[in-house]
Amino acid sequence: MRDNAFEALTVETLPARLGAVPEIAARVGGSPENWQVREVGDGNLNLVFIVEGASGTVIIKQALPYVRLVGDSWPLPLKRSFFEYNALTRQEKRAPGTVPAIYHFDEAQALIAMEFLSPHVILRRALIEGRQLPKIGRDLGLFMARTLFRGSDLAMKAPQRKVDLALFADNVELCDITENLVFSDPYFEAPMNRHTPGLDPLVRELRSDRDLKVAAQRMKHLFASKAETMVHGDLHTGSVMVTEEDTRVIDPEFAFYGPMAFDVGMLLANYWMAFFSQRGHENDGDRTAMRAYLLGVVAETWGTFRDEFARLWHTERGGILYQAALYEDQDDGLASEQALGHVLHDLWTDMLGFAGIEVHRRILGLAHNADFEAIADEALRASCEAAALKFGRHVVVNRNAIQSLAELARLAKALDQGKLS
């Protein structure tokens, strides 16, 4: 630690190593040898410690030089911590109060000390347990509209945005994970893929589905080339912590300049997957109300996102795009509305495309969702996953023709009830 060369923390070494950092020592309090330290990381990539002392509790997140899920055979640069830190600070400015407070960042140690959120739990866990969180639709819709709009050429000054674009362009390896794991691997027999055995016939069908494979690559093309705003980059329900009253977004290490609709599509896909997994969690009671709640959350999230985006369009459109000089300043408000309509329409179709792909990769690729994985009965799990896969296929292939979320809610219910093959 003296020359500050990277060294992974352990429960045993953490107090001595971080006890000397004033921002951490002051928050935790007491003497470091009395700190209670637990490693609780259950994600795919990093170490996460809860450090408790006489005055308080702090989270220490440290990147490892490899993918934790796979091991040191898959190296991954530590700089992802730098991107996470920079994304968190921008998200806090653009959507205050929606991310954990940051106390300290050590780039060489790839370490971020941040607020311990309590009694928050991971949203995915809460949805698996059947908890209905009343605020997530509104909170996450606002979070996305504010961070995505305010990080784009609709709002930022062009020189500042270009500096940020260049900064996040170096997050090459994490983009590469998404480019392969999300957009390509699910559609062929890639070495790291796995799926529930009962899905074999459907998986063969999907992997030989020409329209689907073309649509998936259309979406990958957009992901790789539409450098529109700073996206979170991994906005699934495992990246959200909740209580009944509070919603916080965590883990933006995949942040980069990409398409706005990527975050929205990924989040909605994870709600839909939570919907399709409910049949597998009915041991402790019927989940009909939970299913209705989840479809309501999809609608509320999208509706809030769209309305807040429109509000920002009317009040904060100070960037180089769709300048007021051409529209409102010439008393041509209708032109501004027409342009907004086009932008929202593109967001809608792109959101649907990204959502369908995200559903597929969580069932066919390397990184699965606990929503389905926690279903012990393999035949039941395959049946839930099959309905989700068919839904994902419909959404991505027909994204230009889908008119409403109500239409998709009807489709989701019919597939879930086995009324469509």
Least distance to ligand SR1 from the beta carbon of 214, Å?
Answer: 22
Least distance to ligand SR1 from the beta carbon of 398, Å?
Answer: 25
CA-CA distances (angstroms) from residue 400 to 347, 389, 407? 11, 19, 13
The interface with ligand SR1 within residues 360-389 (CB under 6 A) comprises 367
Least distance to ligand SR1 from the beta carbon of 267, Å?
Answer: 12
Q: Count CB atoms within 10 A of the CB of residue 130.
A: 16
List 323's β-bridge partners, or say none: none
Distance CA 260, CA 262 (A): 5
Least distance to ligand SR1 from the beta carbon of 143, Å?
Answer: 18
Contact between 416 and ligand SR1 by CB under 6 A: the answer reads no
| CB closer to Mg ion out of 43 and 100 | 43
Contact between 251 and Mg ion by CB under 5 A: the answer reads yes
| CB closer to Mg ion out of 43 and 356 | 43
Quick one: 39 exposed, middle or buried, by C-beta within 10 A (0-12, 13-18, 19+)?
A: middle
Selection from Mg ion, ligand SR1, none that 69 binds (CB < 5 to 8 A by kind) is ligand SR1
| CB closer to ligand SR1 out of 69 and 169 | 69
Selection from ligand SR1, Mg ion, none that 367 binds (CB < 5 to 8 A by kind) is ligand SR1
Selection from ligand SR1, Mg ion, none that 181 binds (CB < 5 to 8 A by kind) is ligand SR1
Q: Contacts with ligand SR1: how many residues (CB under 6 A)?
A: 10
Contact between 267 and ligand SR1 by CB under 6 A: the answer reads no
Contact between 69 and ligand SR1 by CB under 6 A: the answer reads yes
Residue 156 CA, distance from chain mean position: 23
- Region binding Mg ion by CB under 5 A among candidate stretches 6-14, 37-45, 266-274, 398-406: 37-45
What dihedral angle (degrees, nearest 10) is formed by the CA atoms of 149, 152, 153, 157? 100
Least distance to ligand SR1 from the beta carbon of 301, Å?
Answer: 19
| Residue type present at position 74 | W
Least distance to ligand SR1 from the beta carbon of 33, Å?
Answer: 34
Of 297, 296, 292, give the one whose Cα is nearest residue 278.
292
Contact between 228 and Mg ion by CB under 5 A: the answer reads no
Cβ partners under 8 Å of residue 204, min gap 6? none
Residue whose tokens read 């904060």: 316
- Region binding ligand SR1 by CB under 6 A among candidate stretches 27-35, 43-51, 299-307, 377-385: 43-51
Three-state DSSP at 229 gives: strand
CA-CA distances (angstroms) from residue 65 to 62, 232, 283? 10, 21, 40
Of 177, 346, 180, give the one whose Cα is nearest residue 264.
346
Contact between 44 and ligand SR1 by CB under 6 A: the answer reads yes
Q: Count CB atoms within 10 A of the CB of residue 226.
A: 16
- Region binding ligand SR1 by CB under 6 A among candidate stretches 41-49, 212-220, 344-352, 395-403: 41-49
Is omega for the bond preceding 186 within 30 degrees of 0, making it cis? no
Given 18, 67, 114, 133, the residue binding ligand SR1 (CB under 6 A): 67
Residue whose tokens read 């809460």: 126
Q: Count CB atoms within 10 A of the CB of residue 209.
A: 15
Distance CA 89, CA 96 (A): 10
The interface with ligand SR1 within residues 157-196 (CB under 6 A) comprises 177-178, 181
* Residue span 387-416 as binding mask against Mg ion, x where in contact by CB under 5 A, dash where not: ------------------------------
The interface with ligand SR1 within residues 197-236 (CB under 6 A) comprises 234
Identify the H or E element spanning 361.
helix 333-364
* Contact positions vs ligand SR1 (CB under 6 A): 43-45, 67, 69, 177-178, 181, 234, 367
Residues at the contact surface with Mg ion, assessed by CB under 5 A: 43, 251
